[in-house]
Amino acid sequence: IKVPVMIATFQEIDAGHLALDHLLEVDHRLTLEDYDPISQLPEKQPVSVLDLICEMIVVSDNEATNMLADHIGLEKINRCVEDLGTKSTMLAHLLARRDKYGGPIPRLTARWNKDGSNLTSADDLSQLMKVIYNGKAASPRSCQTMQEILEISGKQGPIGSYLPATTIVGGKIGHITDPEDGEDLGETAVINGDYVLTIMCNRVPPFSQRKKETTSEEKVALRELSTILDDFHQQHSEMPFYFKTTVQPLWYHKPISPSDVISILSKAIHDVYYQVERRR
C-alpha cells in the first residue's frame, strides 16, 4: 500500500503543495512498530519529505507512511491511484493499532470494501509500477526520482535474489505476519526497465501447519504454471507477455519460504522473458 502513498506524495509535490525539502514534525500518536527508524526519533523532530519517502519505501517504515498519508489525506491518495487505472486498491486506514488515546483508528469503507481494510492487488501494483516507469504517474522528474528510490529498495527484495548480478530491479516488498491468518509476502518490481512482475503469497501457514504431502490439486496447479511458462518460451514472440495464475508452489512438503517461492518464480519468468526476447 506504500507505493500509492509515494505516488500521491509526488503528485502533491508537482502541484506545489509539498516539496522534497519540506519538513514534517514526527508525530508518535500513530506509531505501529517501535523499531521503525522514524518511530525512534524524538517527538516533533522535523524530517524532510524526501527522507520520509525513502524510509517508507526502502525500509518500509510505517510511521513515515502514516505521516505522509495523514498529511495528504486518504481520500486524495485513493483518488490518485484510481485515476491512474487501479481497480481494487484502497488505503482505508493508517498503519497503526490505535491512536494516542487508545481509541480505534478511523476507517474508510466502500461498497467493495465494507470492513475498511487496506487492499491492493497484483494487477493494480503492476499498473502503478508501469505508469511510474512510463513517466505518467507524476511529472517526468518525479517519476525519475521514484525510480531511483525503488531501485535502492529493489536490491533487497526476493524478486532479484536469483537474477544475474547486473540486473536492475526497482521494487517494493510488503510483509505482514498474522499468527491466525498466516504470512503475507509480496513484491512488485520492474526488471531492467523491461517488464513488471508482481508476486503475492497470501496467508501462508507456519511450517508446523503445512501439509506434509502435495495433494493432486496442487500438482495440477504446478503443472499449470509449468505449461504457461513453457508455452511462452516455445511459441510466443510478442513482448512483453502477461499472465495471471493462482498456483500453489511446492512449499508444503519442503522447507521453503514464501520469499524462496517468489525468488524461484522470478528466476523462471526472467529466463523465459529474455530467451523469447533473444529470438525476436
Q: What does the block give as the cell for 248?
A: 500453489
CA 72/CA 18 separation, integer angstroms: 9
The C-alpha cell 492487488 sits at: 121
CA nearest 158: which of 187, 182, 137, 134?
187
CA nearest 4: which of 98, 67, 106, 76?
76
Q: Pick 162 or 273 by higher pLDDT.
A: 162
CA 49/CA 67 separation, integer angstroms: 9
Q: What does the block give as the cell for 84?
A: 491512474
pLDDT digits (tens, 9 = 90+) for 217-257: 444 445 555 566 666 555 554 444 455 555 455 444 455 67
pLDDT digits (tens, 9 = 90+) for 155-172: 999 999 999 999 999 999
CA 55/CA 262 separation, integer angstroms: 23
pLDDT digits (tens, 9 = 90+) for 2-29: 999 999 999 999 999 999 999 999 988 8
Q: What does the block give as the cell for 240?
A: 512483453
What is the β-pairing status of strands 195-204 and 46-48?
unpaired
Q: Model pTM?
A: 0.85
User: Average pLDDT for residues 188-211, to the nearest whole number?
Assistant: 81
The C-alpha cell 510511521 sits at: 63
CA 72/CA 261 separation, integer angstroms: 36
Q: What does the block give as the cell for 32?
A: 505501529
pLDDT reading at 151 higher than 80: yes
CA 183/CA 203 separation, integer angstroms: 5
